[in-house]
Structure 1
Amino acid sequence: MRQKRLPPGFRDEFGEEAQKKAALSHSLAKCFFERGYTKINTPLIEYKNIFDDYDLAVQQRMYEVVDSSQERLVIRPDLTLPIARFLANIQVNLPKKFYYTGDVFAMNQAHRGWANQVTQAGIELVGYASEKAELECLLIINQVNRLWLNNQLYVELSDARFAETVVDALGLTAAERTELFEALFNKNLPVYERLIEAYTENTLYSLLKIWPRLFGSIEEVQQELDAIILPMSAQRLVNGVMQMAQAVQKLSSQKVRIDFSSPAPQPYYTGLTFRGYIDGVASYIVSGGRYDKLLANFQKEPTPAVGMGFDLDVLASVADITLSQAKPSYVYIGEDAWDVVADYVLAHPTYSLVLADTLAEAREQAAVDGAILYVVTEEGVKADA
């Protein structure tokens, strides 16, 4: 038989792997619902202009299609922007807390081994200006860490405004910002060190020198920062991150890291950002942050908001979760017992008909599946010996 291959970056899921992912999805949805979140589903296909202000690199990786009107459509690469589009079009009383589960699609470079289809489960807290919205997200992350990750998760905190605040103080042009950020965020230290040579006489040079090292534990980052003087605007951001980090570190067995030397998880974040990862796992398990200006792309007035999403594929690959091992129950229908079996199965909704024509075949199937077999005849029901 001729083999039919999948496109690169896609894969099938089945058996225990698929069941584990489904169990985590169900548990997270239950957690969100019980915490007062409202379910929201958005279409898989959106107009491309929804993502015009997203990020050029992401736009170049989106899967595009064309509808009958020849308008450009995309398979969504993100779940937050469609929710922002929904809120701009539908009158919803805010503040409001939403939760979602869905797939996102993006064309990644094949040699990196990243998946092009990822399942996410997440929340959006829209209309909440208080930092308690960020803390709510971090509390849920800690709950996931305790339930399924054996407290091995690191929470990494930063602020999306820090890098922009520094380059604003330096007075860099747009091109200079891009060049500096590319070297810094990609940890291309030879290029980065060459670029900052132009600022040796600037009062921010001491910060530029240590900037690539501004990641690690709270104590390690604070020690680096204690040796320099930051602009007041940058210092306020650092203080806010450190205060939140110390609060989160007090949660049950939660490990916390700081990182001011990496880009925000998404380009639309405007405040505190957070990621969750486990040592030895290449991808983040969860990421999120504040994005108070996102809705301004769809409506006149900006709306405060915080959101986060769990990568269910990564979470399922590392989660310590036990699937139910209960034996299935099969029902075999004997001759002329159709009326009897209907009533019996209705009374036992978890029982399943064994799809075999003879009792011998039914016994064989039950043995293979480790199931309990019940035989239904006109005389009644009995467990098969």
Structure 2
Amino acid sequence: MKRYDLITPEGTRDLLFEECLARRSVEKNLKCLFSHFGYSEVVTPGLEFYDVFSGSTRNFRTENLYKTFDSKGRIIVMRPDSTIPIARLVATRLKDAKLPLRLYYNQRIYENSALLKGRSDETVQAGIELIGGKNSKRADYEVLCTAVEALAMFDKDNFRLELGHIGYFKELVAKLGADDDVREEIRMLISTKNYPALNDLLMTFGDNDVTRALKQLPRLFGGAEVFEKAASIYTDDKITAILDETKEEYERLSSLGYEGKISVDLGIVSHTDYYTGIVFKGYLSEVGKYVLNGGRYDKLMSEFGFDCPAVGFGVNVDAVARHLTKIGEEFELKTADAVVYGEKGYVVEAIAYAKKLTEQGMTVENSLFDTVEESAEYARSKGIAKLITVGKEIKEINV
């Protein structure tokens, strides 16, 4: 007896009618936003070689990847991230293209998040990647403003964008001399704001300016005061430059009319290690976790042999769709305008007539019943107001 033929795997779910409409609505709006800003769509394979995600800054935990083998015994993974495959794509097929490149995507990603409650291992993600450009500051502002527009499009009064800089964390943790495993553990504890465990781990490196700064990192969020607080905890020339850069971007974004919706979080330490500069996360009121995240990644494509700066972000389409449903946006299925019934000997003609009606903009259903009475009862049960019979004559009946 089969045990699992009536359920979906953990971390996945079926979507029904209104849920599908909500997802498609989000996808359509994001596609419209991205394309109007000059971004062109690309699609990468759902299956990639494991090596694509195992470089120095693209080191995904193997236990989080869905893995299989191809016919030659090589390890294949289901795509856990969209930015890395696009970096591969740019470094190979688009390496001779004129820069900057503006690319957008709308595709599924897969990641085994067994430790997360209510996890979603299959997620539809839409986003942009801005590749190249002489002025990284201009590129950062373009992507940040597009991110804000994406959030505002779905809840203009209640969205929030948190801005940080991964360099702040990287500069501090580099001074510890920790190995990769410990560094990853510190990152995870900061990301989850697990203060007790973070303090215990950092105690093994002694009590000094760096460990004290790292202990405070999860608390460095809020408004403009965060920059002064961070500088008072620990600073050097590199960290001062990082704080000044982030503060400027925070102030410029706030000045565009988004004041109160932009905040600072220097504790943003993404599990993807390819970020090199600004990082940010976006939130909507009815979703408990971020629905948008991104940042600058200037070294990723060099791992594929193409040294080029880039910045981008991705949107969790499914999370945004759930948000829209919760705030009361309706995604109702369209009721057909009519049921078309073919009398005996006129079934094919009825289907042809139904097609003619659809070309005129109507939504129709072809009756699969044997009698007019059954067809009329079906129409009434579905709230369809009209029955059209096709025989020697074409008749319309209000039901």
Q: For this structure pair, what is the TM-score category when the shorter chain's length is used for normalisation?
A: 0.7 to 0.9
Closer, same or farther in 2 for the Cα pair 1:245/1:70, shift >3 Å? same
**Inter-partner Cα distance in structure 1 for 2:141 and 2:47:** 32
Counterparts in 2 of 1:292 and 1:55: CA distance versus 1, 3 Å = closer
Q: How many angstroms does 1:350 deviate by?
A: 3.6
Q: Equivalent of 1:289, from 295, 299, 315?
A: 295
Query: Would you say 1:344 and 2:356 are equivalent positions?
Result: yes
CA distance in structure 2 between the aligned counterparts of 1:110 and 1:130, rounded to whole angstroms: 37
Structure 2 distance, partners of 1:14, 1:39, is 27
TM-score normalized by the length of structure 1: 0.88
**Residue 309 in 1 paired to residue 314 in 2?**
yes
Counterpart for residue 23 of structure 1: 25
Q: 2:117 aligns with which of 107, 112, 125?
A: 112
Asked if the contact 1:45–1:76 (Cα under 8 Å) also holds between the matched residues in 2, the reply is yes
Cα distance in 1, alignment partners of residues 52 and 315 from structure 2? 22
The answer to whether residue 66 in structure 2 is matched with residue 60 in structure 1 is no
| Contact 1:331–1:351 (8 Å) recurs in 2 | no
Native 8 Å contact 2:166 2:278 kept in 1:
yes
2:131 corresponds in structure 1 to 126
Q: Paired residue for 1:329, among 337, 348, 358?
A: 337
Task: Kindly state the Cα deviation for residue 374 of structure 1 after the two structures are TM-superposed.
Answer: 4.4
Root-mean-square deviation (Å): 2.8
Q: 1:95 to 1:239 in 2, by over 3 A?
A: same
Identify which of 65, 81, 85 aligns with 1:82. Answer: 85
DSSP 3-state at the match of 1:60: helix
Structure 1: gaps spanning 5 or more residues: none
Go from structure 1 to structure 2 and tell me whether the alpha carbon gap of 1:147 and 1:252 turns closer, same or farther (over 3 Å shift). Answer: farther
Gaps of 5+ in 2: none
| Preserved CA contact (<8 Å) 1:51 1:59 | no
Q: Counterparts of 1:21 and 1:220 in 2: how far apart (Å)?
A: 38
CA distance in 1, matches of 2:239, 2:212: 14
Q: Give how far 1:105 is off.
A: 0.7
CA contact (8 A) 2:18 2:332 kept: no
Secondary structure of the residue that 1:353 maps to in structure 2?
A: strand
Matches within 5 A, 1:1-385: 4-53=6-55, 55-91=58-94, 92-109=97-114, 112-128=117-133, 129-168=135-174, 170=175, 172-174=177-179, 177-178=183-184, 180-194=186-200, 195-196=202-203, 200=207, 202=208, 204=210, 207-208=213-214, 210-215=216-221, 217-225=222-230, 227-228=232-233, 230-253=235-258, 255-264=261-270, 266-278=272-284, 281-299=287-305, 301-319=306-324, 320=327, 321-323=329-331, 327-335=335-343, 338=349, 341=353, 344-345=356-357, 347-357=359-369, 358-377=371-390, 378-380=392-394, 382=396, 384=398
Q: Secondary structure at the match of 2:298?
A: coil
- Find the aligned partners of 1:172 and 1:154 in 2 and give their Cα distance: 35
After alignment, is 82-91 or 275-284 more displaced? Answer: 275-284
1:379 aligned partner, one-letter code: E
Give the superposition deviation at 1:96. Answer: 1.2
* Contact kept? 1:118, 1:311, Cα under 8 Å: yes
Q: Distance in 2 between matches of 1:155 and 1:343?
A: 48
In 2, Cα distance between equivalents of 1:146 and 1:183: 31
Instruction: Give the SS at the match of 2:61.
Output: helix
Letter in 2 for 1:214: L
Amino acid at match of 2:66: Y
Q: Deviation per CA, 1:3-53, whole angstroms, max 9, x where unpaired?
A: 612111111001111211111112211221222111111111111111112
Deviation sequence 1:182-230 (CA, Å, 0-9, x none)? 5444434344445258554x55566356333212x22341352364451
Once the 2 structures are TM-superposed, how far is the Cα of residue 297 of structure 1 from its aligned partner? Answer: 1.1
**Secondary structure of 2:44 counterpart:** coil
Letter in 2 for 1:352: V
Check whether the contact 1:185–1:263 (CA below 8 A) recurs between aligned residues.
yes
> What's the % identity of the aligned pairs?
26
Q: CA deviation at 1:119?
A: 0.6
Is the 2:205–2:211 contact (alpha carbons within 8 Å) kept by the matching residues of 1?
A: no
Single out whichever of 365-374 and 227-236 deviates more from structure 2: 365-374
Q: Give the 3-state SS of the residue equivalent to 2:143 in structure 1.
A: helix
Which secondary structure does the structure 2 equivalent of 1:250 belong to?
A: helix
- Whether the aligned pair in 1 keeps the contact of 2:166 and 2:268 (CA below 8 Å) is no
Q: Deviations over 1:234-258 (max 9, x none)?
A: 1111111111112222344561221
Cα deviation, residue 76, structure 1: 0.7
Which amino acid letter does the alignment assign opposite residue 211 of structure 1?
L
What is the CA-CA distance between 1:65 and the residue it aligns to?
Answer: 1.1
Q: Which amino acid aligns with 1:365?
A: Y
Judge which range, 132-141 or 176-185, deviates more.
176-185
